[in-house]
Amino acid sequence: MDPARRQSVVDFALQEGAMVSVEAVTRARVLDRLRLGDAAFRHLTRAAAFGVLLLLSGVIIALIQGSLPALRAFGLGFLTTDRWNPVTENFGALAPIYGTLVTSSIAMLIAVPVGLMIAFFLTELCPQWLRRPIGIAIELLAGIPSIIYGIWGLFIFAPFLQETLQPFLINTLGNVPVIAPLFSGPPYGIGILTAGLILAIMVLPFVTSISRDVFEAVPPVLKEAAYGVGCTTWEVVRYVVLPYARVGVIGGVMLGLGRALGETMAVTFVIGNAHRISSSLLAPGTTISATIANEFTEAVGDLYTSSLIALGLILFVITFIVLAVARYMLLRIERRIG
């Protein structure tokens, strides 16, 4: 309260007599204090909101600063070479970038169709009483920490693949002319393919729950109209629901992709951490996050550490773009639904 107005309150109180005036002065003081607290609280919340912005810029600045020595030493060549030699301090990011992209692609190739089909089942076919339990089960799958997927992948899934799927792939697809190199070499169990498959399981719940939400948001009258002209359930989903929900589904897929790209622990356990680009999907490889997790604490020398931070910067830039696109898509569908 500005002093002049407070004065007028006090003046008014004084006209009423001395007894009230004491009360009025206290009241003015209390009001003043409340006003101060009000302003303080508002600025505090505003500062916290700015803090969130600062956090993101802090992450970017810290990563750029940390990766400067490596970027200065290797320049843009850092992105295009696959050497990774801690002894001669010669580093290039191509192998981890390649591994990250390939494992994430495998994951999306599997998770997107399966996730869409689960969403189809949940919204169109599933009996009402089963929808919630199945939905919760899928979401619990998303809640399992990645290290659990890692330990499970290393001890259970990788040996299983080594004995079953991988020999099968080598014996069948390994003989098909064009794609044979993808499935050559011995079945290690661990490797790019295994990491991709585990990522697929981890990403599945994300794709499923967002697709289900956007499928549910399709206006019933559209579906009813399609059923009315004689469409089968599948045709309704394929030609009415999917086109209507497309933007949202793409948003969900990008969100899942963002997770797959940055996933660390599950991949670290099963990828084999080999800095090379091999044509075979069955061979060990590495990803950006797995390289950082495996080597950061053991990195000796500034250039080594800096190269790992530069890897982190690349990962952050890639996921930032993917996530920004995802959010933009989801925002668009939210606006349309209103």
Partner 1 sequence: MTARYAARRRSNAVAMALALAATLFGIGWLILILGVLLWKGLSGLTPAVFTQMTPPPGSSGGLLNPIVGSLILTVLAVAVGTPIGVLAGTYMAEYGRYDRLTSVVRFINDILLSAPSIVVGLFIYEVMVAPMGHFSGLAGGVALAVIVIPVVVRTTEDMLTLVPNALREAATSIGLPRSVSITRICYRAARAGMVTGVLLAVARISGETAPLLFTSLNNQFWSTNLNAPISSLPVVIFQFALSPYKDWQSLAWTGALIITLAVLALSITARSLVGSSKHS
Compute the residue count for the chain.
Answer: 338
Closer of 12 and 155 to partner 1 (Cβ):
155
How many helices (H) and strands (E) would you count in the chain? 15, 2
**Smallest separation, CB 169 to partner 1 (Å):** 19
Cα–Cα distance between 302 and 319 in angstroms, integer?
A: 26
| Residue 91: its H or E element | strand 90-91
Residue 279: CB minimum distance to partner 1, A? 27
- Residue 86 or 180 having the CB closest to partner 1: 86
Q: How far is it, in rounded angstroms, from Cα 282 to Cα 274?
A: 12
Name the minimum Å distance from CB 151 to partner 1: 5
Q: From the CB of 57, what's the least distance to partner 1, in Å? A: 9
- In degrees, rounded to 5, the angle at the alpha carbon of residue 154 between the alpha carbons of residues 151 and 158 is 145
Nearest distance, CB of residue 313 and partner 1, angstroms: 8
Contact (CB, 8 A) for 169 and 178? no
Which residue shows structure tokens 């060549």? 77
**Between 88 and 128, CB nearer to partner 1:** 128
Indicate the residue among 100 and 280 with the shorter CB distance to partner 1.
Answer: 100
Complex with partner 1: residue 130 or 225, whichever CB lies closer = 130
CA angle 123, 126, 128 (to 5 degrees): 90
Q: Residue 89: left (phi > 0), alpha (psi -120 to 50), or beta? A: left
